[in-house]
Structure 1
Amino acid sequence: MTSHPDQYDVLIVGMGPVGKMAGLLLARAGHSVLIAERKTTSYPLPRAVAHDAEIARLLQHAGLRVDGIPDAVEPYDDLYVWVNADEEVLHQVDWRGIDPSGWNNTYFYNQPALEAHLDADLLAQPTVTVRRGVTATVRAQDGDGVDVAIAPAASTGVEDGTIEDGTDSHVEIIRASFVLGADGANSETRADLGIQWNDLGYFFDWLVIDVVPREGFPAMHLAKQICDPARPTTVVPGGPGRRRWEFMRLEGETVEELTRPERIWELLAPFGVWPENADLERGVVYTFNSGWAEQWRDHRVFLLGDAAHQMPPFAGQGLAAGFRDALNLSWKLDLVLRGAAGEAVLDTFVAERQRHVADFIDFSMSLGRIICITDPDAAAARDQDMIAARQAGREPEPPPAPRLGGGLHRGPQGGVLSRQGRITTDEHPDPVRFDDVFGAAALILRAGTPAPPADLIDDLASFGVRTVVEGSDFVDADGTYAKWFEDLGARAVLVRPDFYVYGTAIDEASAIELIAQFTSDLAAPTVVGARAEAVS
């Protein structure tokens, strides 16, 4: 057994998209990151396929703008249509236009292409080290860090950190201030820590097919849910230059017969898709599960992404939830690692994210209960109810509004997603997005509201929060902030680095109190981890 001479700020187990995003965010903040991954290469086929405006804003924050990677991501500016077997419209979701986060409501993407861009940005960071083909096992924790055993993965003749002859001479002990388990649904980190999984018992098998159109491919654009009891089906864009179908596996069908190429082409034929006009990229059966880990934190080890929670794909929020985990945790770890905040702030990660994830698990399962009906009588009753509701102008329940559970926010407007509008400044006479100029973390003051005293502005700056005044530091190009202040009934709003509102203030005095609350919630006299110097 050997010990590594270096101590990392953060060791991330798993180099899927969530691990990559967490690593990129922490490295961009200046922290040393080691990513340990069992597989020697990234998964080459698409899995997740859609994200919303909040994730587009997160990618913007991470330096990976969706409008700059047209090979990987494309906006969707149309309706999401639900129909029954007779093509009668049951429901329509309007995904057109710009979301309050400042980006299109919906994007479709090709996951391998998106991850390739993530890889390039991640590996360009000088503080990132990647170890592939290895396992990472938490051996011990104390008040200053975590000891992690790194060993060749089982495919190279090593399993669980011990080589086959019973010795552990190939095991290397790495020291990290914190460990993030982002190693997926079958998380070994979760298993190593003995954390139990709460399975909601809701699962269905779906055949997921991705095709690359060729000449003669039928014209189609809409995202469509076909609620046909004979075979519930989803048809959506698959990212630039691709199209996706998802077919529910019916009772009595085996995975083997459903994934035969001949059977796949049979299922695609009614849509006018044949081997002559499309290339089959993949056809794989996935089991859509729902559940969560009963603990997301064990002292200095955190679970995030599929290691912590899973949901059906019907709301398009699975990978998005993991990305939100990465952002919520990374900005807090940044403050703790550089001594600007106490470790108590890390307690808020679980409380805030669990509420948010639970809402989307419930919502995605509720959609599944509508979509996955195979009984003809039950489907007919569903169709009748949805058509009647549509004719009466009644809308189904919308997705849950993004809101954090209890944690680092104050007041009834705290914990909600902030808005991002377009602004102009002296340096930017043409409209640009707010975050591109000032970053997400900001105390935004309405025009005419006095700025707080300089010492309080400095206090906020120590936590990476800018103080900006509408009409003075920026011009509200589209009236986004004026309307937002009016809706909030506020003259000041304090936005955290993850785009969520800490709190609001109605006047100068309450703005000063808001700053005092924020700094009090975060401030700590001690430095944690291997890196103590301030990060600009």
Structure 2
Amino acid sequence: MPSRTHDVAIVGFGPVGQLLALLLGRQGHDVLVLERWPEPYDKPRAVHFDDEIGRIFQAAGVVDDVMAITDPVPDHYEWRNAGGEPLLRIDWSGTGPSGWPTANFFSQPDLERVLSKRVETLSTVDVQRGQEVVDLSQDENGVRLVTSSEEFHARWVIGADGANSFVRGHIGVPSTDLGFFFDWLIVDTVPLDEREWSPMNWQLCDPVRPTTIVSGGPARRRWEFIRLPGETIEELNTPETAWRLLEPWGRHPGNTALERHTVYTFQARWADEWRAGRLLLAGDAAHQMPPFAGQGMCSGLRDAINLAWKLDLVLRGVAEPGLLDTYTSERRAHVRHAISMSIALGEVICVLDEDKAAERDRRMIAGGADPARVLPPMPPPLLGDGVRLPTAGHLTPQHRVHYGGTSGLLDDVTGFGFTILTDGLAPDDLLDESRLAFLTEIGATVVPLTEENDLDGAYLPHLREHGHVAAVIRPDFYLYGAATVPGEVSGLVDQLRAHLRVRRREDG
């Protein structure tokens, strides 16, 4: 029999499982990780994350280590036609709204080493490699996990075990598949010569062979070649084919090391439910999408932080388990937006008909390669229904503040938890003892802003522009809701308490 029941068991130890282990372990929870492979996979896969994901790494305490193995994009992301004319130009330079570089490229083995090394420092997390889960069963108290050699118990189980997830298969949840299938040969290389890649990342929208040319992280380059009609996967996925397709780009064995070549089938689908009792799904186990928007791994890491703060409250007995039902409703809607955006980009890129490509080129060139004019309109990415008010649910920016004797980016000053920003209003002037005690229980920080401590001069103008005196920001940085007058703040806190289904201490 197992010696103890873990708070959480995570099946899978890729970036999503690693981030979950890190976030939950840092909160003091007893976390077990079961990874089927005895050694980490040493080949590249995901290569991009955005500024929001940089903020998530910041919350996990690893952002400096991650940025050390990352190439921030210094310029723009460009699409060109066969003649070299720009069809689309997206500015990826500089710092994004979340306080970190707008776009970043990395090698996944390097990222996994950073995350794994930090997880290993936590006494609260037990990582067991070479443990493939072969059976699961659950009751009202927890989950029994069986591997080929051992048995484990946990209160909650998260399947972060990839596109072929055992946990998802065990749940038997149906999926929605949008039927967007394309095969692409992914070729990862290490250039051996010194040269400048400008722009760093771009798409060749040539109907003869649409091709992606991007960074693979520091000192690496990636090419992606669409499979053409009549080509088989077998003949495409060979070193000889990879070198033949790289040759027009001046790449050959004399100046390039071929690190990996493989064919991926780009898909667009998601599991309809991400929770079944005490079993939950995250990352590729819950959704897959084409890579054209660079949001596959990013979406999985957003899953992780959304689930981590909710599980933390449930495990501490501060919130009811029903809070976890909002994980699916919030994240599924957000992921559908990312998938829709990826498909919209793919439908522009994956054009093999010369006449249709010429028509596309004329339209996009006439639009001045301006994303606002040449891409299909998309609604803003909002969380679905859940722990938010109807007018909220969007990602909030991160700026520098001074609070509690510390200056820095907001999340570093307040820590991982809820944050309430006010227009100079002190918490004691807004809330009674009961509501202040509730905020303490959920780990919330109230920051009264003034012209002196709003160091970038950004938060106060934003609040005032929208007529708000206070705003509640969730631990995953999305807006819960805002108050327009001081008297509304108590009601805002009461609504949050109801959303979390918080139990009174006398109820146990």
Check whether TM > 0.5. Answer: yes
Q: Which residue of 1 aligns with 2:108?
A: 111
Between the aligned partners of 1:220 and 1:468, the Cα distance in structure 2 is 43
Structure 1 residue 72, shift from structure 2 partner? 2.0
Structure 1 residue 408, shift from structure 2 partner? 0.6
Give 1:471's match in structure 2, choosing from 439, 450, 460.
450
Structure 1 residue 280, shift from structure 2 partner? 1.4
Structure 1 residue 229, shift from structure 2 partner? 0.3
| Equivalent residues of 1:342, 1:526 under 8 A apart | no
Q: Which residue of 2 aligns with 1:139?
A: 136
| Equivalent residues of 1:182, 1:303 under 8 A apart | yes
Change (3 A) 1:443 1:70: closer
Between the aligned partners of 2:439 and 2:186, the Cα distance in structure 1 is 48
Between the aligned partners of 2:487 and 2:299, the Cα distance in structure 1 is 37
Q: Once the two structures are superposed, what CA deviation does each residue of 1:90-127 show, in whole Å capped at 9, x if it has no partner? A: 11111122222111211111111011000001111101
Structure 1 residue 451, shift from structure 2 partner? 4.4
Give 1:447's match in structure 2, choosing from 421, 424, 432.
424
Give 1:42's match in structure 2, choosing from 40, 54, 65.
40
1:30 lines up with 2:9 in the alignment:
no
Matches within 5 A, 1:60-139: 60-65=58-63, 67-139=64-136
Q: Which residue of 1 aligns with 2:472?
A: 494
2:449 maps to amino acid: E
Between the aligned partners of 1:309 and 1:395, the Cα distance in structure 2 is 28
2:462 maps to amino acid: W
Q: Which residue of 2 aligns with 1:201?
A: 179
Matches within 5 A, 1:169-248: 172-217=150-195, 219-248=197-226
Q: Which residue of 1 aligns with 2:503?
A: 525
Q: Which residue of 2 aligns with 1:316?
A: 294
Between the aligned partners of 1:47 and 1:327, the Cα distance in structure 2 is 21
Structure 1 residue 19, shift from structure 2 partner? 1.0
Matches within 5 A, 1:113-512: 113-152=110-149, 172-217=150-195, 219-390=197-368, 394-397=373-376, 400-412=379-391, 414-425=392-403, 427-428=405-406, 432-439=408-415, 441-447=418-424, 450-471=429-450, 475-512=453-490
Between the aligned partners of 1:26 and 1:313, the Cα distance in structure 2 is 28
Change (3 A) 1:232 1:101: same
- Of the structure 1 ranges 431-440 and 246-255, higher mean CA displacement relative to structure 2 is found in 431-440
1:178 maps to amino acid: W
The SS at the match of 1:139 is: strand
Between the aligned partners of 2:462 and 2:488, the Cα distance in structure 1 is 18
The SS at the match of 2:28 is: coil
User: Unaligned regions of 5+ residues in structure 1, if any?
Assistant: 153-171
The SS at the match of 1:315 is: coil
The percentage of aligned residue pairs carrying the same residue is 44
Structure 1 residue 142, shift from structure 2 partner? 1.8
| Equivalent residues of 1:218, 1:273 under 8 A apart | no
The SS at the match of 2:373 is: coil
Structure 1 residue 35, shift from structure 2 partner? 0.9
The SS at the match of 1:42 is: coil
| Equivalent residues of 2:77, 2:199 under 8 A apart | no
1:97 maps to amino acid: G
Between the aligned partners of 1:469 and 1:390, the Cα distance in structure 2 is 44
Q: Which residue of 2 aligns with 1:164?
A: none
The SS at the match of 1:314 is: coil
Between the aligned partners of 1:442 and 1:137, the Cα distance in structure 2 is 41
Between the aligned partners of 1:219 and 1:235, the Cα distance in structure 2 is 10
Between the aligned partners of 1:70 and 1:404, the Cα distance in structure 2 is 27
Structure 1 residue 395, shift from structure 2 partner? 4.2
User: Unaligned regions of 5+ residues in structure 2, if any?
Assistant: none
Size of the aligned set, in residue pairs, is 502
1:443 maps to amino acid: I
Between the aligned partners of 1:39 and 1:114, the Cα distance in structure 2 is 17
Structure 1 residue 466, shift from structure 2 partner? 0.5
The SS at the match of 1:45 is: coil
Between the aligned partners of 1:216 and 1:417, the Cα distance in structure 2 is 39
Between the aligned partners of 1:465 and 1:444, the Cα distance in structure 2 is 11
The SS at the match of 2:4 is: strand
The SS at the match of 1:394 is: helix
1:34 maps to amino acid: L
> What TM-score do you get using the length of structure 1 for normalisation?
0.89
Structure 1 residue 391, shift from structure 2 partner? 7.5
Between the aligned partners of 1:41 and 1:198, the Cα distance in structure 2 is 33
Structure 1 residue 81, shift from structure 2 partner? 0.6
The SS at the match of 2:330 is: helix
Change (3 A) 1:230 1:395: closer
Between the aligned partners of 1:16 and 1:407, the Cα distance in structure 2 is 27
1:53 lines up with 2:54 in the alignment:
no
| Equivalent residues of 1:339, 1:526 under 8 A apart | no
The SS at the match of 1:387 is: helix
Change (3 A) 1:121 1:470: same
Give 1:513's match in structure 2, choosing from 491, 496, 501.
491
2:420 maps to amino acid: L
